[in-house]
């Protein structure tokens, strides 16, 4: 009896850091395998971008570890550290997720209360809508038309996000009660 080896495909993979990104071709069984193997990346499925990338001189790596660059090793190591933790992948594969996150996932410095963000996030980790909640309870709402860049802000396989999930009704209540950023405020 011979071992069955699943066929692989080549996926265009991006680590988008807002003002640019790192790109690779990754050979894997599926797009999900790429996302389960590497943290903080996305699989690009836009046909025009894939066609253009065909002329770029990109590194080719395999999800099994063959041909890894230092950056890909870092993303793989981060994912490996997350994999065994409770909540790993709990939000992955959902069309929309609602989250409550402190600014940049960290506490504010000093005695200052952290600003909280309620975010509606798509399956690719990009914000769809956002409410910035100030310590006094007031809120500013914004959407993609208000942001100059909208890279993925969360990795839905990250186990820490499971504890930040809120319900749609909590988000919608905050959204309806917040003023739009053009109504006298700007987000931090």
Q: How many residues does the chain have?
A: 188
For the chain, the C-alpha Rg in angstroms (whole number) is 19
Q: Please identify, among 83, 104, 134, the residue that sits at the C-terminal boundary of a domain.
A: 83
pLDDT at position 46, please? 93
Which phi and psi angles does 32 have, rounded to 5°? -60, -40
Q: What angle do CA 104, 151, 122 make, to 5 degrees?
A: 90
Residue 3 lies in a domain: no
Q: What angle do CA 141, 147, 148 make, to 5 degrees?
A: 170
pLDDT tens, N- to C-terminus, the chain (188 residues): 556 667 899 999 999 987 889 999 999 999 999 999 999 999 999 999 999 999 999 999 999 887 777 889 999 999 999 999 999 999 999 999 999 998 754 444 555 667 899 999 999 999 999 999 988 888 999 999 999 888 899 999 999 999 999 999 999 999 999 999 886 544 44
pLDDT at position 108, please? 45
pLDDT at position 4, please? 63
Query: Does 39 share its domain with 105?
Result: no
Residue 4 lies in a domain: no
pLDDT at position 1, please? 54
Residue 2 lies in a domain: no
pLDDT at position 110, please? 53
Query: Does 101 share its domain with 179?
Result: yes
Rounded distance between C-alpha atoms, residue 67 and residue 126, angstroms: 29
Rounded distance between C-alpha atoms, residue 74 and residue 58, angstroms: 18
pLDDT at position 20, please? 86
pLDDT at position 145, please? 92
Supply the range of the domain harboring residue 168. 96-183
Residue 115 lies in a domain: yes
pLDDT at position 26, please? 96
Residue 165 lies in a domain: yes
Q: Please identify, among 83, 106, 134, the residue that sits at the C-terminal boundary of a domain.
A: 83
Tokens 């790192």 -> residue: 22
């Amino acid at each position: 009896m011979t071992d069955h080896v699943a066929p692989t495909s080549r996926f265009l993979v991006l680590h988008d850091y807002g003002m640019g990104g790192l790109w690779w071709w990754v050979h894997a069984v599926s797009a999900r395998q790429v996302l389960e193997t590497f943290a903080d990346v996305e699989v690009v499925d836009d046909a025009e971008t894939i066609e253009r990338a065909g002329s770029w001189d990109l590194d080719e790596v395999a999800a099994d570890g063959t041909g890894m660059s230092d950056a890909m090793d870092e993303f793989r190591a981060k994912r490996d550290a997350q994999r065994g933790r409770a909540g790993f992948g709990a939000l992955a594969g959902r069309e929309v997720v609602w989250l409550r996150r402190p600014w940049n996932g960290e506490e504010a410095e000093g005695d200052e209360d952290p600003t909280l963000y309620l975010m509606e996030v798509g399956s690719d980790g990009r914000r769809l809508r956002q409410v910035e909640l100030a310590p006094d309870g007031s809120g500013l709402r914004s959407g993609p038309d208000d942001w100059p860049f909208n890279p993925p802000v969360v990795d839905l396989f990250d186990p820490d996000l499971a504890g930040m999930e809120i319900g749609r009704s909590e988000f919608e209540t905050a959204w309806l009660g917040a003023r739009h950023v053009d109504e006298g405020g700007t987000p931090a």
